[in-house]
Amino acid sequence: MTLEMLPSLMGHFLLLSLMSIGGAITVAPEMHRWMVVEEHWLSDAQFSSSIAIAQAAPGPNLLFVAVLGYQAAGLAGAAATLFGILLPSTTLALLAARWGRAREDWRAVQAFKLGMAPITLALIAATGWLLTAPLAEWRSVLLTVAAALLVWRTRLHLLWLIAAGAALGMLGWV
């Protein structure tokens, strides 16, 4: 890719940073729409594999942003996307945390914190849907619903559910 795309890449990720409530993975659907559908810088397979590779690697959850940037524009793209996603949200989070800590007994601050939880969950669910929709079939949907119910209604440790999912995958059930 060319150097002309770097300002656009960084600018878009600067804006996405401000929407990434709950982490960079929550805006993955918008990243997909822009990089795959609109700009055609990546294919669906490149996008999904970039997220999978970065999530499997040890380190911060947002490594996939650098992998997406690398796929689109090499090392300069990785730097542009990573800097773009980190700068605004980190600065805003630092300022908001300091302000909120000084006013944690205010009713409005407590209400804001409670109100952000459903937004974060919805953004994560949208990301999960985007990444699994091409592969979804009735068994995987059933397994997802069962796992969600078990997490919600029992004290079963999540590692047991992950192990069960891995076993079902090895057996070819999902």
pLDDT tens track for 113-168: 899 888 888 888 887 777 777 766 777 778 778 888 898 899 888 888 888 888 88
Same domain for 107 and 57 = yes
Beta strands in 40-119, from DSSP E residues, in sequence order: none
Beta strands in 98-161, from DSSP E residues, in sequence order: none
And the tokens for 10?
């960084």
Whether residue 172 is predicted with pLDDT greater than 70 in this model: the reply is yes
Which residues does 71 contact at the CB level (< 8 Å), separation at least 6?
A: 41, 42, 46, 47, 50, 77
Whether residue 1 is predicted with pLDDT greater than 60 in this model: the reply is no
Out of 54-63, 65-74, 135-144, 152-161, which region has the weakest mean confidence (pLDDT)?
135-144
Same domain for 141 and 110 = no
Mean pLDDT on 13-19: 92
Counting Cβ atoms within 10 Å, is residue 59 exposed (0-12), middle (13-18) or buried (19+)? exposed
Same domain for 112 and 98 = yes
> Is 10:80 a contact under the CB 8 Å cutoff?
yes
Q: How confident is the model at residue 174 (pLDDT cuts 50, 70, 90)?
A: low
User: Mind listing the pLDDT tens digit for each residue in 120-131?
Assistant: 888 888 877 777
DSSP state for residue 41 in the 8-state scheme: S
Same domain for 71 and 114 = yes
The C-alpha atoms of residue 1 and residue 6 are separated, in whole angstroms, by 9
Same domain for 50 and 21 = yes
Tell me how many domains the chain contains. 2
Same domain for 146 and 116 = no
Same domain for 153 and 127 = no
pLDDT for 60: 83
Same domain for 111 and 152 = no
Sign of CA dihedral 131, 135, 139, 141: positive
Same domain for 121 and 160 = no
pLDDT for 55: 82
Same domain for 109 and 52 = yes
Q: How confident is the model at residue 81 (pLDDT cuts 50, 70, 90)?
A: very high
Q: How confident is the model at residue 67 (pLDDT cuts 50, 70, 90)?
A: very high
Same domain for 12 and 93 = yes
* Residue range of the domain that includes 83: 5-133
Same domain for 150 and 119 = no
Which residues does 101 contact at the CB level (< 8 Å), separation at least 6?
A: none
The C-alpha atoms of residue 54 and residue 68 are separated, in whole angstroms, by 9
